[in-house]
Amino acid sequence: MTEAEFSATDISAAIGPGLRRPRRLRTSNNMRRLVSEVDLAPRQLILPMFVADGIDQPREISSMPGVYQHTEDSLVRAVEEAAELGIGAVDLFGVPLDSDKDAEGSQSWHDNGVLNRALRRLQKEFGSDVIVAADTCLDEFTDHGHCGVPGHDHHGHSVIDNDATLLRYQKMAIAQAAAGADIVSPSGMMDGQVEAIRTALDANGFQDVAILAYSAKYASAFYGPFRDAVGSSLEGDRCSYQQDPANRRESLLEVQLDIDEGADMVMVKPAMPYLDIVREVADMSPVPVAAYQVSGEYAMISAAAANGWIERDRAFMEALLGIRRAGADMILTYWAVEAARRLK
Ligand code: PBG
């Protein structure tokens, strides 16, 4: 039978009168807008930023086109631009001179360390107009590149010493709070880091400084470009403190512990390969949930777009929406400013 021989009656007989037609809600822009389930708004975006010592102009990170190591002055200008576009917060990482790194990362708690200087400058320029978070981790400041200080286990083997590291995180968090950080964000995956930091902040009059805990942070290949961005000295890996990508339940434990220890907000990181974890954490968490779209996620889309293989802006907006749909309240993303501009 040819197509011409079908009659309208044949067709309706074949499909029945009660066919559900979900396409009705996709017929026009306005109809799609009416039924759209998830929103992306600038206030939900947190921009990670890098401030480097010893440079006199911003330096683009080769594996992250459009992302810069900032001088203090260019940082101020970039924060101003981000704030005008209505993003929720910035999250600051420091890049010290190699000559200032040592085994315990002591520049991270010195008042004149690069990160604390920049925090003080942002506090002076913006006061309470911009929410500023600080990365509370030693890895940018240690000469071995680990997130904690080295020590020995009971066999005499070298390990990253959990409890000795907590003392350094306490000093770092106090220095960041004193420099004006609104939020400290421990990213080193040491056991007890949230409680240690909360205790230290409270004992020093910083009850109102919030903790955004990197709760479920995986040992991920997707951090590759970030290590460029901060000039990481790491040799080896972080598998003895960051989580195994195979594990799901462990994230629920880590999140629960951080909440019990006083985390004001929790985070899953990376985002795209761990959207199932974002969803599960969003379902169980009584505190706001952040997800970190990491450097490798940025680099992948950027590189594919540079080759003409993917539409850059549509791809990153879709990735961000996917992270929201998975349940994240907030997203740390290097596209925060561009996304906010598109959302205006
Ligand atoms: C470590 C830290 C890392 C990132 C944020 N904080 C790297 C790591 O754990 O090796 C990665 C962020 C990114 O890849 O965008 N303090």
pLDDT exceeds cutoff 80 at 243? yes
Closest CA to 229 of 78, 337, 88, 70: 70
Q: Is 295 in the pocket of ligand 1 (CB under 6 A)?
A: yes
How many Å apart are CA 69 and CA 316, to the nearest integer?
22
pLDDT exceeds cutoff 60 at 321? yes
Closest CA to 274 of 256, 290, 257: 290
| CA 187 to ligand 1: nearest atom | 16
Atom 2 (ligand 1): residue with closest C-alpha? 187
Q: What is the mean pLDDT of the chain?
A: 95
Substitution candidate for ligand 1 out of 47, 108, 187, 268 with most atoms within 8 A of CB: 187
pLDDT confidence tier of residue 63, bands split at 50, 70 and 90: very high
Q: Is 187 in the pocket of ligand 1 (CB under 6 A)?
A: yes
How many Å apart are CA 115 and CA 97, to the nearest integer?
12
Q: Is 218 in the pocket of ligand 1 (CB under 6 A)?
A: no
The confidence score (pLDDT) of residue 228 equals 82
Atom 10 (ligand 1): residue with closest C-alpha? 223
Render pLDDT for 97-115 as a digit per residue (tens, 0 to 9). 999 999 999 999 999 999 9
| CA 334 to ligand 1: nearest atom | 15
Residues with catalytic function: 217, 269
Question: What DSSP line would sit under 229-263, residue for residue?
Answer: HTT----S--TTTSBPTT-SHHHHHHHHHHHHHT-
Q: Is 147 in the pocket of ligand 1 (CB under 6 A)?
A: yes
Render pLDDT for 147-163 as a digit per residue (tens, 0 to 9). 999 999 999 999 999 99
